[in-house]
Chain A
Amino acid sequence: MTAQPRTIHAAAFDPVVARADFPILSREVYGKPLVYLDNAASAQKPKQVLDAMTQFATSEYANVHRGVHFLSAAATGRYEAARETVRKFLNAAHADEIVFTKGGTEAINLVANGYLAPRIEAGDEIVLSVMEHHSNFVPWHFLRERHGAVLKWADVADDGSLDADAVAAAIGPKTKLVALTHMSNVLGTVSPLHEIISLAHARGIPVLVDGCQGAVHEIVDVQDLNVDFYAITGHKLYGPTGIGALYGKRVLLKGMRPYNGGGEMIREVTRDLVTYADPPMRFEAGTPPIIESVGLAAAIDYLSSFDREAVAAHEHRMLARATAALEDLNWVRIVGTAPGKGAILSFETEGMHAHDLATILDREGVAVRAGHHCAQPLMERFGVASTTRASFALYNTLDEVDVLISALHKARKILG
């Protein structure tokens, strides 16, 4: 089951007003207005996020969970308040189910090392989809190399959609985990999570969802999904780099061994013995990204200040306009046309390599991604070496879609 087409709330969200919150968007590159369409790689930051970080660093900053002094208490309060903000954003039942990490990649590595590695034996299987980003398959490759795990791949259909049956078919009696993206960073495909999670659970298999793209564009409710692990990253969510979070069901986190060792994650240390703190502290060794946690909370507050459905409707209008324009060009092939897909548009251009195209678009002020998008198995699946990708954020406009299209025509004139 894929996401249904959106209801459009025409006046509920005004991207032009939102744009004013992002200082960088008013700059020019090569004398042209910046058209930033590389949001799936990283999103720009609103001044609300930057201001919150500066305000915190200039008035309340200290290390957390260790000092008895005023600032340490204040900083600890802000850090834990940020955890509560993430909890609410994902609708987790408990704040202690939110572990701060340095990003989505570390969140997934934490599950691979802390949860799965001690439970996996040679021949056990991990089910993945072919549209995973490198961060959601390299950690599993480690388990293949080091523990003899076997990776099983669920393929996508030619339009890029992922059928729950394909995941079901990849699951076997030795499957120990299903690890799956919420939204593909290349195809924009939204995975039918409810269906996949139910069928995995029916076989007693936990599911990890990589929400690095999904949490930006979809409303996430981890309890409703009944997902076991959900990874997010801050910098794609209009927040700072250096911070992400792992949601894990309390019972699973409690049964996990620590991944990094250091301060803050122990209960007691002697010369012969160490006992570990409860989650989430058990998994937050060392000084965490404190200022970044405040930035992440501000980013979530910022995003949540809008009607998310209206934001999604706006992103889908841009996607629809760009898709329609590209479909008119017989020298363009769109990769990924699954129904209900997110606002990510990858395409191949006949006679033009993605890097040449991206160079020309760049000189028009248009920032896109060109390459394999850290998803090489997927590129292989679609028989392309690289694609050009335009990915839309809440601050992009329909006019910017038109700039992209006219820049494409210009590139065609130069290279075609």
Chain B
Amino acid sequence: MDESLRELYQEVILDHSRHPRHFGALANANHVGEGHNPLCGDRVKVYLHVGDHDKIDDISFEGKGCAISQASASMMTDLVRGRTVAEAEKLMGGFLHLVKGEDASAIGPDDREHLDVMAGVQAFPMRVKCATLAWHTMRSALEGGASAKSE
């Protein structure tokens, strides 16, 4: 099999896409964002509960899409849960660089271990948008949702 395909569709990614973590609506969300990739019709909705000290107490997502977009969303929820908004944004910045094959040194070593499986997307420029959809949606939830949704 094509080595880059093996890279892209690693078992970890397929597992996340088949059994996404933190999937479903979040009842006490105070930030909600919706993302849409008009190219393929994929949609994702990200829910966050941001508590004291800007800490993301909880996060979940809903949506339908390809294995890459689902796995990326699932891994994102795993990683940012319990972080501050600033930490999540820093991680996102690094992630966006990582999938484009750019300098991703903003990602700390522990996170890098988890996110390295997503680096396979580098070889598939047409699929970068699939990988970044959930992350962009989280950002718009944190930015846009803040004034509308915070308590």
Contact = CB atoms under 8 A, between A and B. Distances in A.
Interface stretch (A243-251, A350-358, A390-398): A350-358
Interface in B98-143: 124, 126-127, 130
A372 B40 contact: yes
Given A30-B2, A355-B130, A363-B4, A372 B9 contact: no
Contact of A356 (B1, B2, B66): B66
B64 interface: yes
Contacts of B41: 371-372, 376, 379, 385-386
Interface residues of A, number: 18
Q: Sort A-B residue pairs by CB-CB distance and give the 10 closest, nearest first.
A: A353-B66, A355-B66, A372-B41, A363-B2, A356-B66, A356-B67, A371-B40, A385-B41, A386-B41, A414-B9
B89 interface: no
Contact of A386 (B40, B68, B127): B40
Interface in B1-17: 1-2, 4-5, 8-9, 14
A233 B68 CA distance: 35
B11 to A, nearest CB: 11
A353 B14 CA distance: 12
B78 interface: no
A415 B9 contact: yes
A278 B148 CA distance: 57
Contact of A355 (B1, B4, B14, B40): B40
Given A355-B127, A359-B8, A415-B14, 17 more contacts: A30-B2, A355-B40, A355-B65, A356-B66, A356-B68, A359-B124, A360-B9, A363-B4, A363-B5, A371-B40, A372-B41, A379-B41, A385-B65, A386-B41, A410-B1, A414-B1, A415-B67
Contacts of A30: 2
State the majority secondary structure of interface residues on A: helix
A336 B108 CA distance: 50
Contacts of A410: 1
A225 B1 CA distance: 51
Chain B: interface residue count, which band?
Answer: 20 to 34
B119 to A, nearest CB: 16
A353 B127 CA distance: 13
A370 interface: yes
Contacts of B2: 30, 363
A379 B40 CA distance: 12
Interface in B56-109: 64-68
Majority DSSP secondary structure for residues of B touching A? mixed
A414 B14 CA distance: 9
Contacts of B126: 359
14 contacts: A353-B65, A355-B65, A355-B130, A356-B66, A356-B68, A359-B5, A363-B2, A370-B40, A371-B39, A371-B40, A372-B40, A372-B41, A385-B41, A385-B42
B25 to A, nearest CB: 19
Interface string A371-414: 11000100100000110000000000000000000000010001
Which of A353, A363, A386, A414 has the most chain B CB within a 10 Å cutoff? Answer: A353
A30 B1 CA distance: 12
Contacts of B64: 385
Contacts of B4: 363
B5 A354 contact: no
Nearest to B70: A353
Contacts of A360: 5, 9
B45 to A, nearest CB: 14
A372 B42 CA distance: 10
A62 to B, nearest CB: 40
Contacts of A385: 41-42, 64-65
A175 to B, nearest CB: 31
B51 to A, nearest CB: 34
A163 to B, nearest CB: 27
Contacts of B39: 371
